[in-house]
Amino acid sequence: MEFAEYTFKIIIIGPAAVGKSSLIRRFVDNAFSTDYQFTLGVNFMSKIVEYDTTKYARLSIWDIGGQDRFQLMRRNFYEGAEGALLVFDLTREQTFYRMQDWISDLYQTIKKDIPKIIIGNKKDIISEIGYIIDREMVKKFINNTNTNLIETSAKTGENVKKAFVQLIRLIIQNIHNSEIEI
């Protein structure tokens, strides 16, 4: 059994039906299902992840429902988060336009900057329909918000582990930077 050097709470947030639960299921269980059910409130999963050779972190992953009606309730689930994955659907432009709202909500609730990665999900569909969202607009947003973008596919598993591992590394870097500042 692996020894987890770190334990982190991470949240995965974004508009409804962008694939947040599917990304987590792909990451934790290496599975994908076409049966879709809205996350009502929050779901939890955990996984020990090798983020570097022989270095492990235990993740407590909070899958937070994206429906607008849960906005006030979901803010309670942000507390204690050390990192966030913000997900939009590469095939639905309006979900990308909501990313700034999700980042603002995160800042207003947590009151500090935590490591975060923007995920454009459903990359597997892009080969069929092409890019719907203006790539230059996405690059500008990523630069303006000082975040990274990773395009994923929960269906195929493409870049899913990469997103979680990159977030772990950003969290650890943030911890070490905070220790230096003290």
Query: What are the structural domain ranges in the chain?
Result: 4-175
**Which residue's entry shows tokens 């996984």?**
47
Low-confidence ranges of the chain (pLDDT < 50): 182
User: Measured between alpha carbons, how far is residue 5 from residues 52, 59, 129, 151 in Å?
Assistant: 11, 11, 43, 28
Whole-angstrom Cα distance, residue 38 to residue 47?
22
pLDDT digits over 49-90, tens only? 999 999 999 999 998 876 565 566 657 788 899 999 999 999
User: CATH assignment of 4-175?
Assistant: 3.40.50.300
The pLDDT value given to residue 48? 96
The pLDDT value given to residue 76? 78
User: Measured between alpha carbons, how far is residue 40 from residues 25, 69, 75, 81, 90 in Å?
Assistant: 16, 10, 14, 19, 23
The pLDDT value given to residue 92? 94
